[in-house]
Each structure stands twice: as structure tokens, then as C-alpha cells.
């Protein structure tokens, strides 16, 4: 009996330690690279409400850049930031280099919100941030693979994920702006 109990207890200890380790994580524990290749710890946004969006330049949803920029301009002075994260996972709709993506976003949509370097948001090479965002144990409210470009995650000032909006939900829709305003409300106190 002891021979069975000890390995079982060790297994439970390691599983418990792993769960506790993952339980303390939040969005601000991750680092991406800026579109210019510099490290960009997301902890720099601690205390702000953040919207993470996987973007693409050749997608039917690409015109959402206009609404993203408008929402960013509307709320940025209240503690809100949008972080654009290019990904080429869906229909090869983001084939360009980081420099090409940056030029496109600035010249076509006048994007001023932070843009990161291209990553993978789905599959075996999924970046750790997106592994976390879509993980069932860590984030049961937002679990599930990214289905397409322009999926939006709203993150609270302590790095907790508030909600997820699928690509068809525009950044300036009433449900998104209501969620942003609700998340910003405590910052105004």
C-alpha cells in the first residue's frame, strides 16, 4: 500500500504545484516584440485596460483598423491601449515582413496604437501569450482556438482577461465600447 501511496502523493504534489504556478499568471507576465523588434513586456501596460487584437493586412476584417484607431483615440487618455498583434495563421492574409506591416498600417489606416512583431496565434508554434489566452484551465471564459483574424481580448488593469470578442464584432460596436467603459470606470476614481 505504501508503495502505491507515495508515487500517488508525489504525482498529486506536482499536479498541484503546476496548477498553482499557472494560476498566478496573467497577461502582464508575457513579453512580445514590438513591430521594430524590441522587447515589449506587456507589464508596461499594468494599470491600463488593454485590448489585444490579432490583425492581418489582407483580410475581409482589415478595415476594422479604422475602428480600432478611433476607439484607441477616444479612450487612450483614460488609461486604455490597443495592442495589434499581426499573425499569418488564416488564409496567409498577413504575408508581409514586420516593416511592410508597419508601413501598411501607418499609410493606409494611420495606426498609432502599439503594434507588435508577427507571431503565430494558432497551431504548434502558437506564441506563449496566445497559449495562455486560449487555455481552458487558465481562462475558462475565453477558452478555444482563435478562429480568424481580428479576435479581440479585453484585459483589465491587473492583467486579468475580462472578455473575448470574435472577429465579426467590430471594435466600435456597443457591446465592445460598453465593456471598455465598464473596465475603465474604476480607473476614474
The pLDDT tens digits of the residues spanning 123-181 come to 999 999 999 999 988 888 888 999 999 999 999 999 999 999 999 999 999 999 999 99
CA gap 103, 82 in Å, rounded = 18
Average pLDDT over residues 9-21: 40
CA gap 10, 4 in Å, rounded = 10
> What is the total count of domains within the chain?
1
Residue 12 predicted with pLDDT over 80: no
Residue 17 predicted with pLDDT over 60: no
Question: Is the Cα dihedral 140, 142, 148, 149 positive or negative?
Answer: negative
Residue 139 counted as domain residue? yes
Residue 17 counted as domain residue? no
pLDDT at 23: 52
pLDDT at 109: 98
**Residue range of the domain that includes 142:** 26-188
Residue 53 predicted with pLDDT over 70: yes
Residue 84 counted as domain residue? yes
Residue 31 counted as domain residue? yes
Average pLDDT over residues 47-74: 98
pLDDT at 16: 41
Q: For 64-121, write each residue's pLDDT tens digit.
A: 999 999 999 999 999 999 999 999 999 999 999 999 999 999 999 999 999 999 999 9
Report the predicted TM-score, pTM, of the whole model to 2 decimal places.
0.87
Residue 188 predicted with pLDDT over 50: yes
Residue 10 counted as domain residue? no
CATH number at residue 30: 3.40.30.10
pLDDT at 15: 39
CA gap 183, 96 in Å, rounded = 34
Burial class (CB in 10 A: 0-12, 13-18, 19+), 7: exposed
Catalytic (active-site) positions:
59
Residue 1 predicted with pLDDT over 90: no
- The torsion defined by the Cα of 38, 39, 43 and 44, in degrees rounded to 10, comes to -20
pLDDT at 104: 98
Amino acid at each position: 500500500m505504501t508503495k502505491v501511496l507515495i508515487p500517488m502523493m508525489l504525482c498529486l504534489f506536482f499536479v498541484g504545484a503546476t496548477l498553482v504556478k499557472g494560476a498566478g499568471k496573467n497577461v502582464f507576465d508575457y513579453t512580445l516584440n514590438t513591430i521594430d523588434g524590441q522587447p515589449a513586456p506587456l507589464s508596461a501596460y499594468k494599470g491600463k485596460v488593454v485590448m489585444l487584437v490579432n490583425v492581418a493586412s489582407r483580410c475581409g476584417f482589415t478595415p476594422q483598423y479604422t475602428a480600432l484607431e478611433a476607439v484607441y483615440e477616444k479612450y487612450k487618455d483614460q488609461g486604455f491601449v490597443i495592442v495589434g498583434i499581426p499573425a499569418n495563421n488564416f488564409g496567409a492574409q498577413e504575408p508581409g515582413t514586420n516593416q511592410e506591416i508597419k508601413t501598411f498600417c501607418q499609410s493606409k489606416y494611420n495606426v498609432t496604437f502599439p503594434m507588435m512583431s508577427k507571431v503565430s496565434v494558432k497551431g504548434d508554434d502558437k506564441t506563449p501569450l496566445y497559449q495562455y489566452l486560449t487555455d481552458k484551465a487558465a481562462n475558462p471564459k475565453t477558452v478555444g482556438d482563435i478562429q480568424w483574424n481580428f479576435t479581440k481580448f479585453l484585459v483589465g488593469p491587473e492583467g486579468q482577461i475580462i472578455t473575448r470578442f470574435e472577429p465579426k464584432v467590430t471594435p466600435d460596436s456597443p457591446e465592445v465600447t460598453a465593456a471598455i467603459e465598464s473596465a475603465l470606470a474604476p480607473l476614474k476614481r
